[in-house]
Structure 1
Amino acid sequence: MTDPFSIIKTELPRDRWGRPLITPPDGGETVAYQRVTTFVGALEDTYHLSLWSQRMVALGMANRPDLQLAASAITDPTDQYAKRTLNDIAKSAREAAGAGAAATTGTALHTLSEKIDRGEDVGTVPAAYLPDLEAYRRVTKYFATLAIEGFCVRDDLRVGGSYDRIVQFTAEGLDQYEREHGERLCYPGPDADGNIRAGLGDEVQPGDTMIGDLKTGNVDFGIGKIAMQLGTYANSVDYDHTLGARTPLVGNPSKKWGVIVHLPAGTGAARLIFVDVAAGFDTAYVLAVGVHAWRKRKDLSFPFASVQVHADLGPSLVEQINAAPSYKALESIYQANAEKWTPGLTTLAKARTAELAAS
């Protein structure tokens, strides 16, 4: 078996939208596959993420007078160029509130965790994050890493993506778990009422293999998407873009369970979480496919008549008052617009009356 850590990787070709270009199973020109994260993202509940993003924009704008000034200079927010400018302002505001720093930290921890799994030196790391890396080492000692950042495809869905890890529980690791926790490690299983609970299922065996995923942020609100994502990976095959070749995933990972290594950045704490990837894949295979097909429907509306009218709004009330040729004309303007008349217009009309009397 080829050592997956020793493969010299070349860049996977992508189209202008970032979609991976994949050689079909029977050969021929490459075609664009949808990214797995995009595919399952069709079912993601983004409510809390949207609120978080709005909060970050608000905080960032409060701290950046230059962004406040730039936003105030926009006179027509419907203009396409103004929209782009406002998008850039919102992005800068989120970064000013620290949203970008969290993403940067997460990416760095991913890279450093890969070095740990490869047995490499992590180099010089800021002291604040050394506890995170030590927590990662300790919580992942129960299994061995078989593959890192492998790219896989699911051809019938025409999707592809990179899994973080494929991990395999070892006899030594499971024995260590028992010594530390006083019981054998078991999968989730049903309780007396049929509810799935942690530790009530079958015992984890040496050699059990599954898709692993490192998360450095909150996982509570996004667990549905994570389950679909890992489930799709577990039901895919490895893809070598240099040859257009497909091979089974190393270790034949479980299609029932996956594992998250949850490492909240800056906390020095880590935990392992079993994920029901079977339920995730079943949902993605049925519902995500249906949602994407629904979005592509072009036969849901049928225009049969249309009218277009361009209204000439004419001069404003202010312009009418300033141009009124007589007091009688001012009265007519008032009578026609009495419901929307304001004290300011009365003042303006009095000034125009004085002008007419003086002329």
Structure 2
Amino acid sequence: MSAARVSQRISAIAESATLAVDAKAKALKAAGRPVIGFGAGEPDFPTPGYIVQAAIEAASQPKYHRYSPAGGLPELKQAIAEKTFRDSGYRAEASQVLVTNGGKQAVYNTFATLLDPGDEVIVPTPFWTTYPEAIRLAGGVPVEVFAGPEQEYLVTVEQLEAALTDRTKILLFVSPSNPTGAVYSPEQVREIGQWAASKGLWVVTDEIYEHLTYDGVPFTSIATAVPELGDKVVILNGVAKTYAMTGWRVGWMIGPADVIKAATNLQSHATSNVSNIPQVAALAAVSGPLTAVDDMKLAFDRRRKAIVAGLNAIEGVQCPTPKGAFYVYADVRALLGKEFETANGPVRPQTSAELAALILDEVEVAVVPGEAFGPSGFLRLSYALGDDDLATGVARLQGFLGKAK
């Protein structure tokens, strides 16, 4: 019997659905098709000029042409620690910071460092598509806890308690949420954090959307709100969303010094240091003002209201108003099994994956199906695209989905 060419561990990883949808949309655009892409969570704004200028100047300095410490430029680590205290009130030393190649490496490093085979991670669902794959790759077991639109996509302590076993090691906590845009209130954050602390769990909190909340809703860091967690909390963050820097690939994790030291050791063998030029750009970003994100928020808020109104005007679509990030998570369960007329005859999609594929084929609008984030029956749309594209895309959805029989 011949051995498999690809390991079981890697073969088991699911492709990133969000990136796959985005890639297909961009390929169709490159072929001249008028595709509207609601797939990727990527601001349509350019990176602010002062950040770009810092990178340009760094590129001409020979010291940045060389290896640098695997854990990050010391001045950037210090600036991240200071930024974290400024923005969320959480105090950390530079030695508790690891600079990573984007937020995804911070996610993987964290789970690889904390999990042993069979350890369980409670994952509030809908979840960002990378979390369960990173957990499995690290040998852990993701345990999904689903909260639907009737709960505003917010899990309860009672649900978390029901998912707890003697193998549970970590609670993953994400607020504001990708993919739903849900934001937990300060009271809910404290209640969940105190529950986790009482059970002796680690909390891994992804705070990359911390500056993107609307309607006066506050961001609350569970690390700050629940000091009882002590040194069993890891914060994940990065510059991608706040400063329109998705392609620069700079993220970080903040945690206890021993965990950060171990994760840095892992990274030293995996990738070594993050490219120095983006690190200098990130230094300019986190040390500078929040003017850029404040300007983006005005546009995101306008688009948020427009897309929610447009989707809720479609019979069979229920779209709660998100309070954070730049996504809507539309409930389309009422459309599944309905008949849609196509050039090839009537089609009855049974899953949100089939519906998303149909939408792309028929009206050239790219959305991500709920299967990427948990149960079928939902569609995630990012509204971090231009106003004109958003209006065109929603109009196409209304025209197509509105004719379901």
Common topology (TM > 0.5): no
TM-score by length of 1: 0.28
| Higher Cα radius of gyration | 1
TM-score by length of 2: 0.26
Q: Return the structure number with greater relative CO, CA threshold 8 A, min gap 6.
A: 2
